[in-house]
Amino acid sequence: MEALRYSILAPSAATFFMIFGCIDAMKKQIEVRYACLDDNGKKLFDHPYSPWEKVDPKYQKQADDAHRAFKTYENVKEWTFLTLPLMWMFALFGGTIPYVTDITVEVTVLVSSVVYMAANHMYTVGYMESAEKRLTGFLLRTNVAKFWMVASAVSLLTAALERFGVIGGE
């Protein structure tokens, strides 16, 4: 059990970082949404949030901010759902790539997941300000996702070639 525990330490920590990024976006979305109050201090939006609800035009800016925050959180969740398996595939099979050691894979997984988490934070904070300010975080996160996509594909290919005896294993 100890060998398994240590072999999945890096991707488990990376999963924690990625989920933390979702929680960060969720908290920011909740803060913005619950700050939307009318002149009497009543919340503009019921729970659960329904972004299609119409509001008095004098509260439209608040409603737009809440909707943008909602879209931010949804985007972060969607990207996490898509990228988490890629990170795990690379973490599990990356060591099959010739000249790539397990420690190299582990460090790469940890560093790239921290970059991913930071990029999500940059995306979230930027998008809360304006749609244009989300791009730096979005592009950084996209680059990490592209890396995981390529790395997992190469890892799976080399693992399959090794498994079926096409290339030599250890």
pLDDT digits (tens, 9 = 90+) for 3-62: 889 899 999 999 999 999 999 999 999 999 999 999 999 999 988 888 888 899 999 999
**Residue 170 in this model has a pLDDT that exceeds 60:** no
Per-residue tokens: 40: 């009497």
Q: What is the mean pLDDT of residues 89-116?
A: 97
Per-residue tokens: 84: 């988490």
Label residue 71 by pLDDT band (50, 70, 90).
very high
H/E segment holding residue 114:
helix 102-129
**Cα angle value 5/121/80 (rounded, 5°):** 50
**Residue 134 in this model has a pLDDT that exceeds 60:** yes
Measured CA to CA, the distance from residue 54 to residue 50 in angstroms comes to 9
**Residue 169 in this model has a pLDDT that exceeds 80:** no
Whether the bond between 48 and the residue before it is cis, its omega within 30 degrees of 0, is yes
Q: List residues bridging with 43 in a β-sheet.
A: 37
Q: What is the mean pLDDT of residues 63-88?
A: 96
Measured CA to CA, the distance from residue 140 to residue 108 in angstroms comes to 16
Measured CA to CA, the distance from residue 32 to residue 13 in angstroms comes to 29
Q: What is the C-alpha R_g of the chain?
A: 21
Write down the mean pLDDT value for the chain: 94
Per-residue tokens: 73: 């959180």
DSSP 131: S
The pLDDT value recorded for residue 168 is: 82
| Type of residue at 144 | V
Q: What is the mean pLDDT of residues 67-78?
A: 96
Measured CA to CA, the distance from residue 88 to residue 12 in angstroms comes to 9
The pLDDT value recorded for residue 50 is: 86
